[in-house]
Chains A and B, each alone.
Chain A
Amino acid sequence: MDFDQFPSMGREDLRDFKKGIDSGFRDFSREFGEAIEQFFDPLLWFLVRLEQLLQATPWPIIIIIVGVLAWLGSRSIKIVVGSVLSFFAIGYFGMWEDTMSTLAIISVSTLVCISVGIPTGVMMARSDRAQKVVTPILDIMQTIPAFVYLIPVVMLLGIGKVPGLIAVCIYAMPPVVRLTNLGIRLVEKEALEAADAFGASSTQRLFGVQIPLALPNIFAGVNQTIMMALSMVVIASMIGVAGLGVPVLRSISNQYLALGLMNGLAIVALAIIFDRVSQEYGSRLQKHRQGTQHD
């Protein structure tokens, strides 16, 4: 036995193996690609319309909406002023349109992630077997390099918004799933026993007790999901998603220091606004809850 060299598959076999997988995927894409694309058509329609809407809306209205949303979320005048000023700066430095595109894809990605992620998290919390199956999948989604799944996504769906959104969601969804699961599992036994004592059905127990008590955790997950979605903006631009990532890519290839910095900072500004507003909102939820507990 020769232990110097690992008994590997051999170059030719390995090559055939890889080629086999590739051609298998090609056949799959030929067979089902069209259908899968059609499945995502409504999503694409929504993405395109939202982007057009954001770009067609006069800027003062957008800024007012940003201010109002920031106020509703945070109830902090500092955060409102900060958000409005960042948007003025973004517009002043000529990044308005790209920012609107980015906002559109990030909002829709977040919505998709939440609407898939929270039910998955609930399912994981209710079944240990589901947790055992889903956890490794989440690990893969978070750690596999984005470039690896960009290839099959592009082969299947081409370039543009929908593949971009899928790439974003693969990376950004795990936090909301994990924290929903955790939040529900952390709900105190006493609260559940009380609910059972009152004869709550399992649906009532879920929506009346578990989810409300887990809300601060779920909200932390949503917050993380938004932040991770924003960090994927540049990767999404590599497969043809318009937005702030495109100028960043352009500046990487050409060493445009200022262009890269400005657009990078615009992404940071968006992230900070989203983060502060949603964190404030989350902690207000928690305070509110603690207040009612003592009633």
Chain B
Amino acid sequence: MSISKTFKKAAIGLTLLFGSNVAIAECGDVVLAEMNWASAGFMANVDKIILESGFGCKVSMVPGATMTTFASMNEKGQPDVAAELWTNAMREPLKLAFAEGSLHSANGQPITGLGEGWWIPPATAKKYPELKTVLDILERPDLFPDAEDPSKGAFIGCPAGWGCQLVNANLFRAFDMEKKGWKLVDPGSAAGLDGSMTKAVQRDNNWFGYYWSPTSMIGKHKMVKVPFGVPFGGADNWDGCIVKSEQDCANPKPSSWTKSVVQTVVTDKFKKQAGSDVMSYLGDRVYPGEVMNNMLVYMADNQAGGVDAAVEFLFTQEAIWTQWVSPDVANKIKKALN
């Protein structure tokens, strides 16, 4: 990529960042949630550029996290759009909000081929081909010794406070992992989880823990998702027990991970104010999983933020995003980019 093009991109990024004055007041003020992980930050920035230069919205961003953003949208009606909301953790209250009409799902699957689960590094998978399922791994805690208590196997769960923390803790009990010699390690934060995985992969150590895709971590380290070896234990078990806190889930049954539901969720006010064109853009905006992973690896390799990645995406993946909007709108966006 030439330097001048890079500068141009940076300049466009800046103009878009500080709000272009071309905004026409038909779509009004919109607040997008910029979630604190890469793919959602990237998606929010693509939305920002397209909504601003394509539909004339006045877009501002607020930082967000799964539970906080949902709570805020549900209680306060702000922010307006959560581009990538992982709704497994809040299925019940979300159902209620959809029924009430205070929130709407604008897109039921904004990214294809994604999911949560339990992963091991590629080196481990190659070295121990007999570890085909989670059940196989559970028999071998000795391969994944915990630093603080090497007699136990370390299963790296979800950071404190994430929705998946409850799920992992309950599955830990469901698979009777404590008796099998495992310890559930709380990595404390996303940085802790990423750091422990990266460290293990870089040193060719074994590692067994929770993660999700699409992420640059999975793409970069080529992590292997391990099938659970048991079928999905039914919605009653999952929704009525596994996703709840320990005291509300007395008898969790082993189960494979539920199919992850990621949605683009918008507030009622936004749906009315933005109009059908914007809503149909959000509905058509589906990122193929592979493209998303490539963007995430681009971000990681170049240490690029959501804005840089969004500009890069709009420049290089025209064939994909022009299908999401009408040719007229696409031309407006292209004009703004150039």
Partner of B186, one of A37, A150, A240, A252: A240
Contacts A30-B202, A48-B148, A155-B198; A147 near B67 (Cβ below 8 A): no
Please, which residues of chain A bring their CB within 8 A of the CB of B303?
15, 18-19
Q: How many positions in chain B have a CB within 8 Å of any CB in the partner chain?
A: 34
Please, which residues of chain A bring their CB within 8 A of the CB of B148?
44, 48, 160-161
Contacts A161-B148, A242-B186; A250 near B160 (Cβ below 8 A): yes
Per-residue 0/1 for A203-247: is the Cβ within 8 Å of any B Cβ (1 yes, 0 no)? 000000000000000000000000000000000011111100111
Per-residue 0/1 for A243-281: is the Cβ within 8 Å of any B Cβ (1 yes, 0 no)? 001110111111100000000000000000000000000
Q: Tell me if B133 is interfacial: C-beta within 8 Å of chain A.
A: no
- Contact status B160-A253, CB under 8 Å: yes
Q: Tell me if A199 is interfacial: C-beta within 8 Å of chain B.
A: no
- Contact status A26-B202, CB under 8 Å: yes
Q: Tell me if B328 is interfacial: C-beta within 8 Å of chain A.
A: no
Q: Tell me if A159 is interfacial: C-beta within 8 Å of chain B.
A: yes
CA of A254 to CA of B162, assembled, Å: 8
Question: Which one of B52-60, B189-197, B213-221, B256-264 contacts A?
Answer: B189-197
- Contact status A12-B6, CB under 8 Å: yes
CA of A15 to CA of B308, assembled, Å: 13
Please, which residues of chain B bring their CB within 8 A of the CB of A139?
none
Smallest beta-carbon distance B177→chain A, Å = 18
Partner of A239, one of B7, B149, B188: B188
> Within B115-168, which residues are at the interface with A (CB < 8 Å)?
147-149, 159-162, 165
Smallest beta-carbon distance A32→chain B, Å = 11
CA of A48 to CA of B199, assembled, Å: 22
Please, which residues of chain B bring their CB within 8 A of the CB of A239?
187-189, 191-192, 195
Per-residue 0/1 for A23-55: is the Cβ within 8 Å of any B Cβ (1 yes, 0 no)? 000100110011001000000100010000000
Q: Tell me if B247 is interfacial: C-beta within 8 Å of chain A.
A: no
- Contact status A154-B68, CB under 8 Å: no
Q: Tell me if B272 is interfacial: C-beta within 8 Å of chain A.
A: no
Residue of A nearest to B10 (CB): A11
Smallest beta-carbon distance A127→chain B, Å = 38
Q: Tell me if A82 is interfacial: C-beta within 8 Å of chain B.
A: no
Residue of A nearest to B190 (CB): A238
Q: Tell me if B71 is interfacial: C-beta within 8 Å of chain A.
A: yes
CA of A237 to CA of B196, assembled, Å: 14
Q: Tell me if A10 is interfacial: C-beta within 8 Å of chain B.
A: yes
CA of A249 to CA of B6, assembled, Å: 39
Q: Tell me if A158 is interfacial: C-beta within 8 Å of chain B.
A: yes
Q: Tell me if B99 is interfacial: C-beta within 8 Å of chain A.
A: no
Q: Tell me if B329 is interfacial: C-beta within 8 Å of chain A.
A: no
Q: Tell me if B203 is interfacial: C-beta within 8 Å of chain A.
A: yes
Please, which residues of chain A bring their CB within 8 A of the CB of B196?
154, 158-159, 240
Partner of B192, one of A12, A33, A34, A159: A159
CA of A19 to CA of B303, assembled, Å: 8
Partner of B188, one of A15, A19, A34, A240: A240
Please, which residues of chain B bring their CB within 8 A of the CB of A30?
202-203
Q: Tell me if A151 is interfacial: C-beta within 8 Å of chain B.
A: yes
Residue of A nearest to B301 (CB): A19
Q: Tell me if B23 is interfacial: C-beta within 8 Å of chain A.
A: no
Please, which residues of chain B bring their CB within 8 A of the CB of A11?
3, 6-7, 10
- Can you name 17 A-B pairs with beta carbons within 8 Å? A15-B302, A15-B303, A34-B203, A44-B148, A147-B191, A150-B191, A155-B195, A155-B199, A156-B199, A159-B192, A237-B188, A239-B189, A240-B186, A240-B192, A245-B188, A246-B186, A253-B160
Known: A30-B202, A238-B189, A253-B161. 14 other contacts (CB 8 A): A10-B3, A11-B7, A12-B3, A33-B199, A34-B203, A44-B148, A48-B149, A154-B195, A155-B199, A159-B195, A160-B147, A239-B189, A240-B196, A254-B67
